[in-house]
Amino acid sequence: MKLVTAVIKPHKWEDVREALETFGVAGMTVSEVSGYGRQKGHTEVYRGAEYDIALVPKIRIEIVTDDADADDVVGIIVKTAQTGRIGDGKVWVSPVDTVVRVRTGEQDASAL
C-alpha cells in the first residue's frame, strides 16, 4: 500500500476532491495546514505596526491507496491542483505496510 500526501492551495481542494472521486478514491483525510516556501506571505498593519506573515494557508490531503493506483492518484492531483503559479504545493508518496478499516477490521485493499 502507499500513502499519498498532497499539500495544495485551498481553493483547489474542491476540484481535486471531485477528480479523485471520479477516479474512484473512496475516501481521504484532510487538514488545514500552513505552508512555508517560495510563495511569499502578506503584510498586515495594526496601528502602524507592519507584520509580515510568512506562512500561507494550504490544504493537506492524505490518501492511502493500492500500490497500483498511487501514480495515477499523484497524477490526478498534480493535474488538477496546478495553477502554474508559485505555491501550488507538493505531493509525495510513501510506503505503507498495512491499513485497517476500524469499523470492520478489514485489511489493506478491502479496507479502502
Residues lying near other proteins in the complex (CB under 8 A) are found at 10-11, 13-14, 17-18, 30-34, 41-57, 59
Between 19 and 93, CB nearer to a copy of itself: 93
Q: How buried is 48 (Cβ within 10 angstroms: 0-12 exposed, 13-18 middle, 19+ buried)?
A: exposed
Q: How far is the C-alpha of 8 from the C-alpha of 11, rounded, in Å?
A: 9
Q: Which three cell numbers stand for residue 104?
A: 470492520
Q: Considering the complex, what minimum distance in angstroms separates the CB of residue 72 from a copy of itself?
A: 13
Between 47 and 103, CB nearer to other proteins: 47
Q: How far is the C-alpha of 29 from the C-alpha of 64, rounded, in Å?
A: 9
**Residues forming the site for a copy of itself (CB under 8 A):** 1-3, 5-8, 17, 26-38, 55, 58, 60, 62, 64, 70, 74, 77-78, 81-103, 105, 111
